[in-house]
Amino acid sequence: MTDTSIRLNLGCGKKKVEGFIGVDIKNADVVADIRKLPYEDNSVDEIMAIHVCEHFYRHEIASVLKEWMRVLKPNGRMVLELPCLDKVLEHFASDSPVNFTLIPLYGDPATHVADGEPALHKWCWSIKQFRNLLNSVGLNDIYEETPHYHQPSRDMRFVCRK
């Protein structure tokens, strides 16, 4: 990518990723609601959202992804990581600790407190369900990778293109 490329890290919190513009409701490079991005159509080269999709209800995630696609350039790349229900259920069967079982399902009320309320999880997707969702909103070249952040044995990572 060229030096003028726009790469967004949506729902970044206080975490900075080199080469990405952090977008979140506070403490970010761009303070904005990631459900309504302040970018022109087809203007962004890459979107990354790490442990963000689980903070949206099942009935609203398609419109959120379509908004992110709106700003993404044709053939732009989208990278998404989130807890994986399939893996979480395996951890339950293995009697794993709460950071592999309950926290990926519900979130951790001790963290991510925005304006006095924790940003708890609203949905946990299986691999098949999430892949189908990505396909249904029009994303292409959808493939899985090993997650780069958090817990690879508990999470999933999808890379796709507009």
Task: Decide if 134 contacts 155 (C-beta within 8 A).
Answer: no
CATH number of the domain within which 22 lies = 3.40.50.150
Residues in the chain where the model's pLDDT stays below 50: 1
2 inside domain:
no
Number of domains in the chain: 1
Residue type at 18?
Answer: E
155 inside domain:
yes
Q: What is the largest CA-CA distance in the chain?
A: 48
Residue 58's pLDDT is: 96
Residue 111's pLDDT is: 77
- Boundaries of domain holding 31: 7-161
1 inside domain:
no
Residue 113's pLDDT is: 67
Q: Which residue has the tokens 């726009």?
A: 6
Alpha-carbon distances, residue 152 vs 83, 144, 148 (angstroms)? 9, 12, 7
Residue 134's pLDDT is: 98
34 inside domain:
yes
12 inside domain:
yes
How far is Cα 124 from Cα 153, in angstroms, rounded to an integer? Answer: 15
